[in-house]
Structure 1
């Protein structure tokens, strides 16, 4: 089975304040279903109140992320699933719950990881 990353950037989630509680409830329900199905690995969101830092090979720390890369924020779910079709189905459930499209990626298998 492969591990799949299902994610969205913060800007993709445009939800009226009046629906935000329902989005949280619906999203947690999908995560609970993934846990019950035994496919859940982890989920969460980037804490945008904590700025990123770059750490070099010699341990030097500098403020900010890669200056040339898009901002990394939003929500992330990792599920372990038997097929891409299953991953698409779970991504659709998360998209419905979050009220925004989800990006789907597969992790390359590394036998030593």
Structure 2
């Protein structure tokens, strides 16, 4: 049975692809990290932060429905997430504003996707 439950607050996934930060010189990484943490602290202070982190490069595995475990996607053949943030805000426009701040801090474009509402999660 489908329902048209509308919530005032939506959750959004803000992410970037693995390798998107490879253009940043190693000596700049500490300042990039601090800039990203500043946005994170601001998001926490604003009450919109749920969770986020960077992901280890190509350390994934795929678990099939039968429990078979295989190596994860190869970067050259499939885009994979390099890092993500989950925020809870009142509009897509607000999610875009946070994504823009993250993009500046991380020096790479961010993808914004709304997370489907599930009353049990």
Tell whether the structures are fold-level matches, with TM greater than 0.5: yes
Secondary structure in 2 matching 1:77: strand
* 1:5–1:79 CA contact under 8 A, matched in 2: yes
Report the aligned-residue RMSD. Answer: 2.0
The answer to whether the 8 Å contact 2:14/2:111 transfers is yes
Task: Provide the rounded CA distance (Å) in 2 between the counterparts of 1:53 and 1:99.
Answer: 28
The answer to whether the 8 Å contact 2:15/2:85 transfers is yes
Give the 4+ runs in structure 1 shifted more than 4 A.
none
Distance in 2, Cα, partners of 1:38 & 1:23:
23
Separation in 1, partners of 2:17, 2:109: 10
Within the alignment, does 1:22 sit opposite 2:14 as a pair? no
The structure richer in helix per residue is 1
Over 3 Å counting, the alpha-carbon distance change for 1:86 and 1:76 in structure 2 is same
5+ unaligned residues in a row in structure 2: which ranges?
1-8
TM-score, normalising length from structure 1?
Answer: 0.87
Instruction: Output the CA distance in 1 between the equivalents of 2:120 and 2:74.
Output: 27
2-side partners of 1:25 and 1:81: how far apart?
23
2:120 is matched with: 112
Tell me the CA shift for residue 22 of structure 1: 0.7
How many residues align? The count is 111
Q: TM-score, normalized by length of structure 2?
A: 0.81
